[in-house]
Each structure stands twice: as C-alpha cells, then as structure tokens.
Amino acid sequence: MRLVDSHAHLDMAEFDADRPDVVRRAFAAGIVAILCPADLTRPASLPTIAGLAAEFPTVLAAAGVHAHQAKDFARGHLDELGRLAAAGAIRAVGEIGLDYHYDFSPPETQREALRAQLAFAAAAGLPVILHSRLSGADIIAAVDAERFGRGGILHCFTEDWPTARAMLDRGFFVSFSGILTFPKAGDLREVAAKVPLDRLLVETDSPYLAPVPYRGSGRRNEPAFVVETARVLAGLKGLAPDALAEATTRNFAALFPFEMAPAEC
C-alpha cells in the first residue's frame, strides 16, 4: 500500500526528540510522501521543515501564515514567500485560511491575511493549502474575490457538503483527517462518501487528531497513522484499502508531482 500524508506539522516541538525516526517509521508503514506546512510567524518552523525536506526528498514543504497567527501577518511575510517561491523551496502557500471556532485573530484580520496570501499564490502560480473551521462561506468568498484558479487542498475538512461541493467546483482537493474515524463524526463521513474519488486526500494533521485506535490520553499523532483514516475512507467509498490508497496517492501526485524512491516503487 502506498499512501500520502497530505498534512503534517512535523515542525512542532512534539517531534523534537525523534523527527527523522517519525519520517522513517511512516515510510516503513507505506507512506511515500508527507506535506509539511511551515508557519512564517514562528521562527523555528521553516528551518525545521526545510531541514527535513533536504534529508527526505518526499517530505514536501509549504509555508504561509495560519489563520490563528493572522494578527502577526505583515508585508514582510509576502517578501519571504517570494524568496522561497523563487528558490523553489516551497510547493504550496499554506496553511492559510479562516478559523471562526478559536478566533485567535479577529475575523477581519484573518480575512485580510488570507486574501493577501491567495493573491500572492495566484501571482506565483502555486497551489494553496486552506484551513477552514466554521468559515466555509467566507473561504469560498475569498477564493472568488481573488479569482484564485490554481486550486490546492482544503485540509482537515470539517465543513458541510455544500462547502465541499463549492470547493470541488473551484478545482480543490478535499483532505480528511483522523476526525473521520471518531465515533461522533457521522455527518462528516456522509460528506466524505460524496466526494469524488479523484478529489480525495488523507492526512494526519500531526501531532493533533490521532485517529482511532490511537486516539486518547493526549497521544501524539504521526504520519504512519494515516493508514487508519484511509481504511475508514475506503469503507465509505466501498473500496479495498489498497485501491483507496492508490487513488489518493495519485491525486496528491497530480497536484504535487514527486519522485518515489526506487525501493518504494
């Protein structure tokens, strides 16, 4: 089975003690690529991800300013994104977006940071990794306002079907996290079952949201665990886990072409 973890925060301190081992453990479990979004407002984030990407060719880096940190977003971050894009150091802008659940930054400030980074990504020709929590309508509005047509990933999807449909219509892939395995996530499973196979992705959002059966007692999530989310998604789509894995890996490779190591082919 070949799987991709389309979203893992391997820059976080939770991985300081064993970061390369976490990646090797994922590869041993059949994960062939991991997309890691760095946050430009946290100084150690990008160097950590860049170091990992240099060590492991199928660890792909992205960068942006998260909705939570939108209050710290500044023009200088766009300059930094410009340097990174010109150097080929990032494959996407993200994660960026809106989060009206936590409201760590004022909604208007979040929308401004999102719009500015969408405009940058459009000009740079890069896909985006979008975060949306209780903000689906405004995410769609921002994508439309910027006439953003490059597509990308709506990650850790928790919104409703109309939001998924609208983002699919705008060329986005929809990525599901370990939440899909939670007992109370019946509504989300119904949405996932409706997303076309050629637009589905899976992710861990490590170190958060460990899937069942790893969930509980604050256990750290890691990319190897994406297998469990893929298994549930396969069941929802009426597919064998291998077939779901191949489809999601193909989807990811369509968005982010990557070279698989010979041993993994």
Sites of contact with Zn ion (CB under 5 A)? 95, 131
Q: How far apart, in Å, are the Cα atoms of 243 and each of 12, 62, 191, 240, 248? A: 32, 27, 20, 5, 9
The Cα–Cα gap between 158 and 136 comes to 9
**Considering beta carbons, is residue 81 or 234 the nearer one to Zn ion?**
81
In the DSSP assignment, the letter for residue 208 is S
**Considering beta carbons, is residue 158 or 248 the nearer one to Zn ion?**
158
**Considering beta carbons, is residue 8 or 234 the nearer one to Zn ion?**
8
The Cα–Cα gap between 203 and 50 comes to 20
- Taking the complex as a whole, how short is the minimal distance between the CB of residue 97 and Zn ion, in angstroms? 7
- Taking the complex as a whole, how short is the minimal distance between the CB of residue 118 and Zn ion, in angstroms? 16
What does the block give as tokens for 249? 């890996």
- Taking the complex as a whole, how short is the minimal distance between the CB of residue 93 and Zn ion, in angstroms? 13
- Taking the complex as a whole, how short is the minimal distance between the CB of residue 65 and Zn ion, in angstroms? 12
What does the block give as tokens for 207? 């170190």
Q: What angle do CA 243, 248, 252 make, to 5 degrees?
A: 150
The Cα–Cα gap between 4 and 227 comes to 9
**Considering beta carbons, is residue 90 or 234 the nearer one to Zn ion?**
90
**Considering beta carbons, is residue 35 or 191 the nearer one to Zn ion?**
35
User: Per 3-state DSSP, what percentage of the chain is helix, strand, and coil (rounded to 5)?
Assistant: 50, 15, 35
**Closest alpha carbon to 33 in 158, 239, 202, 179:** 202
- Taking the complex as a whole, how short is the minimal distance between the CB of residue 262 and Zn ion, in angstroms? 31
Count, residues in the chain: 265
Question: Would you list the DSSP string of 219-243?
Answer: PPP-GGGHHHHHHHHHHHHT--HHH
- Taking the complex as a whole, how short is the minimal distance between the CB of residue 1 and Zn ion, in angstroms? 24
* CB-closest chain residue to Zn ion: 131
**Considering beta carbons, is residue 223 or 237 the nearer one to Zn ion?**
223
